[in-house]
């Protein structure tokens, strides 16, 4: 969602802020802005609706100054416009703020400000923050106290970064709740603040994450952090191991295409060292969860949002079949507002590539605080909030995922879930040692299944060209391919803006079939497996209504190919592993559909990579 960058040091801040914002573009945004502070405290604010290039092109002379803050905004309160873009200033312009999150009680705070004679200029919830800080400063508070008092008046999870005219060589950063993290970067005679490690990587890998309730005062020579009621401390940085080179797009046209092709490596990295065949062991060295606990649980609940929820749905199959324990999945945003009846006997597994999705974090906190459920998270971002809430973590090893549409983190999450299912199954006696070895042996083929699936790229491009004019798409699957049908439809919606629905094929005749005619294409995910005949009969029902069928099935499946209008072959997968061969194909289909429609694939409209608002 929104991105934040801040800089204080000996270099010119402007270009560093703009470059940092460029690295945050992948999070999705609809306006951008920077504020640069010179040595005398003069602050210049530049902001524009639209892409960062529009802001950069609008800058005639780069403002002079060695500190500043920048922001990419994804509109929540007030339309995307120059006026609503961050940074926002107090009326006299002395306090300048960028924010991630939502000020839930902004109306009430605006009224309070109005009573004090302060008029807000923008439609945003954010603007109340600099205005309230300025009022507190007028009463003689120092900046940290004014910021803390302001945050105390605000409802909602927020990350706030501010500069003040009176202290041109300082940046203030505060974190309330989990509206995305704030990370402080340590350089030589310079310091950085960012919402996201990606913005810091060219400059430093020495970082410190702020905790909920922290306020940091960042100067050229370091940072001082105070938590409520505790004396300020100077935290030591820790080293993060992300490779800046991996952030670059390389020779691919889009990050999404690059990341689709990185899947075999991401899978190998995620499985490496975690699945050993002799003697058969799984997640042996790192999973802190005990076999006693895995034996004691009565249920596993897997939660996530979007693509991560689809991974959860597939994970349920594995945890039930291989783990031998009841398993369910839930949409994290719905879960947290239900009466889900958990308890210490329910293992809650959360999936979140970013580790910062507010719905998922909210559900995790609910499970922890209200139900004391043991928690394991599957996450791609070390140090993210999810990894700090959950006691047990399986780290994905995908490297940064930049495309808004998740691809490699999806298949890597699947690998992690399969490993977990095997571990549960072994602990509970569902899998014998030999069966575990067989299952792990099968999983070790996942990278090559995915690799071979990638070779369907040309076939996907051909089919996409034929589908580009269609208004709708129905995607059908059964069994373990049903969640993948939903994921295919999500990918098509996200990047090609085509209306697409994923359905369990058995459900089609209970309603959706009424939609079908010769203008309504249907994608059928139909590899050979226990439910293949039922898929075949669904395809026949579709054809009988004149709808064109794109069948994705096992290479050389003549029966399916003959029934379909278009056929895309994938390598036959061992039992339960078809998601690894099918995922790259459906991702490529969605990718080529968006490419054929000439769309902005890495930054689709209205979407954000990390969704830090409810």
Spatial neighbors of 32 by CB under 8 A, at least 6 apart, are: 21, 47, 48, 50, 51, 52, 54, 55, 70, 71, 72, 73, 85
Bridge partners, residue 378, by sequence? 351, 394
Helix (H, G, I), strand (E, B), or coil: what is residue 47? strand
441-500 residues in contact with ligand AGP (CB under 6 A) are 494
460 tagged catalytic: no
Query: Which of 119-127, 302-310, 340-348, 570-578 is the region at the interface with ligand AGP (rule: CB under 6 A)?
Result: 302-310
Between 56 and 496, CB nearer to ligand AGP? 496
509-538 residues in contact with ligand AGP (CB under 6 A) are none
120 tagged catalytic: no
Q: How far is the CB of 49 from ligand AGP (least distance, A)?
A: 23
| Strands across the sheet containing 31-37 | 43-49, 31-37, 67-73, 3-9, 190-194, 183-186, 206-209, 238-239
Between 97 and 613, CB nearer to ligand AGP? 613
Q: Which of 408, 491, 493, 609 is catalytic?
A: 609
Q: How far is the CB of 403 from ligand AGP (least distance, A)?
A: 8
End-to-end Cα spacing for the chain = 11
220-239 residues in contact with ligand AGP (CB under 6 A) are none
Calpha distance 235→394 (Å, rounded): 27
Helix axes 408-427, 433-443, angle to 10 degrees: 170
Q: How far is the CB of 208 from ligand AGP (least distance, A)?
A: 22
Options 163, 183, 184, 405; binder of ligand AGP; rule CB under 6 A: 405
Q: How far is the CB of 601 from ligand AGP (least distance, A)?
A: 12
Between 130 and 306, CB nearer to ligand AGP? 306
Question: Within 13 Å and on the Cβ side, how many CA atoms surround 371?
Answer: 22
| Strands across the sheet containing 472-477 | 499-504, 472-477, 522-525, 549-554, 566-570
Q: How far is the CB of 182 from ligand AGP (least distance, A)?
A: 17
344-373 residues in contact with ligand AGP (CB under 6 A) are 352-354, 357, 360
Decide if residue 587 touches ligand AGP (CB under 6 A).
no
Options 126, 131, 308, 373; binder of ligand AGP; rule CB under 6 A: 308
DSSP assignment of 386-434: HHHH-SEEEE-------SSS--HHHHHHHHHHHHHHHHHHHHTTSS-HH
Calpha distance 511→541 (Å, rounded): 13
Closest residue to ligand AGP, judged by C-beta, is 306
Cβ neighbours around 232 below 10 Å, total? 13
Closest-CA residue to 524 (of 581, 582, 577): 582
CA 299 to chain centre: 26
Options 6, 181, 306, 362; binder of ligand AGP; rule CB under 6 A: 306
Between 204 and 610, CB nearer to ligand AGP? 610
Between 304 and 548, CB nearer to ligand AGP? 304
Q: How far is the CB of 190 from ligand AGP (least distance, A)?
A: 30
Which are the catalytic amino acids?
Answer: 2, 609
Residues in contact with ligand AGP by CB under 6 A are 305-308, 352-354, 357, 360, 404-406, 494, 610-611
């Amino acid at each position: 969602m929104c991105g934040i960058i801040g800089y204080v040091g000996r270099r010119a801040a402007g270009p560093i802020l703009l470059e940092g914002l460029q690295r945050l573009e992948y999070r999705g945004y609809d306006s951008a802005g920077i504020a640069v502070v010179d040595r005398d405290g003069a602050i210049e604010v530049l902001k524009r609706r639209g892409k960062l290039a529009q802001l950069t092109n609008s800058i005639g002379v780069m403002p002079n100054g060695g500190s500043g803050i920048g922001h990419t905004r994804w509109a929540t309160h007030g339309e995307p416009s120059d006026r609503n873009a961050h940074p926002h200033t107090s009326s006299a312009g002395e306090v300048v703020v960028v924010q991630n999150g939502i000020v839930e009680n902004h109306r009430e705070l605006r009224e309070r400000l109005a009573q004090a004679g302060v008029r807000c200029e923008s439609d945003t919830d954010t603007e109340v923050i600099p205005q309230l800080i300025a009022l507190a400063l007028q009463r003689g508070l120092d900046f940290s106290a004014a910021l803390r008092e302001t945050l105390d008046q605000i409802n909602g999870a927020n990350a706030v970064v501010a500069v003040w005219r009176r202290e041109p060589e300082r940046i203030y950063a505060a974190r309330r709740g989990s509206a995305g993290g704030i990370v402080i970067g340590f350089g030589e005679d310079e310091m950085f603040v960012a919402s996201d490690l990606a913005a810091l990587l060219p400059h430093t890998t020495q970082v410190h994450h702020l905790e909920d309730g922290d306020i940091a005062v960042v100067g050229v020579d370091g940072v001082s952090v105070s938590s409520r009621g505790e004396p300020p401390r100077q935290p030591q940085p820790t080293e993060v191991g992300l490779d800046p080179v991996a952030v670059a797009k390389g020779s691919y046209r889009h990050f999404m295409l690059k990341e689709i092709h990185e899947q075999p490596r991401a899978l190998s990295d995620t499985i490496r060292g975690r699945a050993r065949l002799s003697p058969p062991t799984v997640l042996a060295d790192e999973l802190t969860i005990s076999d006693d606990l895995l034996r004691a649980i009565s249920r596993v609940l897997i939660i996530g949002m979007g693509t991560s929820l689809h991974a959860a749905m597939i994970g349920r199959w594995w945890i039930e079949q291989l783990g031998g324990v009841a398993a369910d999945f839930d949409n994290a945003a719905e879960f947290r507002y239900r009466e889900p009846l958990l308890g210490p006997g329910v293992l809650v597994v959360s999936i979140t590539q970013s580790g910062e999705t507010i719905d998922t974090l909210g559900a995790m906190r609910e499970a922890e605080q209200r139900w004391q459920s043991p928690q394991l998270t599957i996450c791609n971002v070390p140090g993210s909030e999810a990894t700090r809430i959950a006691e047990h973590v399986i780290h994905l090893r995908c490297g940064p995922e930049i495309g808004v549409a998740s691809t490699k983190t999806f298949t890597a999450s699947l690998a992690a879930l399969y490993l977990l299912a095997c571990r549960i199954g072994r602990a509970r006696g569902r899998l014998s040692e030999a069966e575990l070895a067989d299952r792990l042996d099968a999983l070790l083929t996942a990278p090559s299944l995915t690799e071979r699936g990638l070779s369907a790229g040309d076939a996907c491009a051909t089919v996409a060209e034929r589908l580009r004019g269609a208004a709708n798409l129905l995607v059908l699957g059964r069994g373990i391919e049903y969640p993948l049908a939903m994921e295919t439809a999500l990918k098509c919606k996200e990047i090609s803006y085509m209306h697409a629905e994923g359905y369990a094929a058995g459900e089609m005749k209970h309603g959706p079939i009424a939609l079908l005619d010769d203008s309504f294409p249907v994608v059928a995910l139909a590899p050979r497996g226990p439910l293949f005949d039922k898929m075949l009969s669904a395809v026949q029902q579709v054809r009988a209504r004149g709808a064109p069928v794109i069948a994705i099935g096992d290479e050389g499946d003549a029966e399916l190919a003959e029934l379909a209008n278009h056929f895309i072959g994938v390598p036959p997968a061992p039992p339960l592993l078809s998601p690894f061969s099918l995922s790259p194909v459906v991702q490529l289909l969605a990718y080529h559909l968006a490419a054929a429609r000439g769309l902005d694939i890495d930054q689709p409209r209205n979407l954000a990579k990390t969704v830090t608002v409810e």
